[in-house]
Structure 1
Amino acid sequence: MLENVKMPEGINKDVMEHLMYPKNYGKLENPTCVGVAMDEKTGEYVIFYTLLEGDVIKDVKFATNGCQDTVVVGSMYTDMIKGETTEYANKALGLIAKKLGSDMTRQQEICAEMVLNGFVASMMNLENIQNGKDEEMHVLKMKESCEVEEEKQ
């Protein structure tokens, strides 16, 4: 949608596209597995809904009450893995950081980790269900908060 828009220097067109028009946002009806990554300090979370057909991610959605960085990463990551295998999705955890660029702030990195941990939690939910555990969703608590201390000059 932004193909004919000239971006100012330093603005990534792909990131802007996902910010303005997030993909795969919302609740997925009848998912195979659900994961939540939670930042207890701020109360922010990412819910990751995954629908599998064998080991292929047939559909995927996410929801968050987090910042725009979380929405952008969620949109980009779900777009990358939809229609792919779970093995690819696990490899894509590393690819997303490259796609975002090396100039991310620590806060942006933690927001990205929250999205990726939401996916990991959904895979843990799948494993628990396959092992006979009655679990509606699996929750992973973030080790680091996205509310980071400002660096002192």
Structure 2
Amino acid sequence: MEQALENEELNQEIIEHLMHPKNYGKLDEPSGVGVGHDEKTGEYVVFYIQTEDENIQEVSYATNGCQDTVVLGSMFTEMIKGDSIENGKNAVEKMDKRLSGMTVQQQVCAEMVLTSFIASLINRENRLKGKSEEMHVIKMKESCEVEEVETKEKENNDK
């Protein structure tokens, strides 16, 4: 019964983030801008952070990705907003561990969000070192096309 209640709460949270994404859009004067880019599909997540000392004051993201990417971006930004950079990095590790229960596509979408956050931290560090870098881009190792391929393989195996 307790598990069912937790699942219901999670489903309601997911619907809320889908219908009303939090922290979506561009930040004015970010401290760091990072991009996770899937070259196969052309999908990307742009992640913006505004920091003061070692704290994340503001955070936002934008994507041309699917609804899973929007939901995961919204949820992740809410997790780290107002927290320390170190706790933001720890949140990446926590999300990575939670991904195992998701579909392959959701895992790839989440990885794109997390990768873009890491890229924004790299961009922030580069800027602090005096490097002129508008944004830092990391190409994704996995593609959102994975689930489509796996689904077709499963259909062929079921025949």
Cross-structure match for 1:146: 144
Separation (CA, whole Å) in 2 of partners of 1:33 and 1:147? 29
CA shift for structure 1 position 28: 0.5
* Preserved contact between residue 17 and residue 75 of structure 2 (Cα < 8 Å): yes
CA shift for structure 1 position 150: 2.4
Query: Which residue identity is paired with 1:141?
Result: K
CA shift for structure 1 position 78: 0.3
- Could you list the per-position Cα deviations for residues 51-91 of structure 1 after superposition, in whole angstroms to 9, with x for gaps in the alignment? 00111110000000000000000000000100000000000
Sort the Cα spacing of 1:10 and 1:90 in 2 relative to 1 into closer, same or farther, 3 A: closer
Cα RMSD (Å): 2.1
Largest Rg, 1 or 2: 2
Sort the Cα spacing of 1:11 and 1:85 in 2 relative to 1 into closer, same or farther, 3 A: closer
- Could you list the per-position Cα deviations for residues 9-66 of structure 1 after superposition, in whole angstroms to 9, with x for gaps in the alignment? 7971111111111100001111111001100111100000100011111000000000
Higher helix share: 2
Aligned residue pair count: 146
Gaps of 5+ in 2: 1-6, 155-159
Paired residue secondary structure (1:40):
coil
Cross-structure match for 1:5: none
Query: Which residue identity is paired with 2:120?
Result: S
Q: Give TM-score scaled by structure 2 length.
A: 0.85
Q: Give TM-score scaled by structure 1 length.
A: 0.88
* Preserved contact between residue 27 and residue 59 of structure 2 (Cα < 8 Å): yes
Cross-structure match for 1:35: 34
Query: Which residue identity is paired with 1:14?
Result: E
CA shift for structure 1 position 130: 1.8
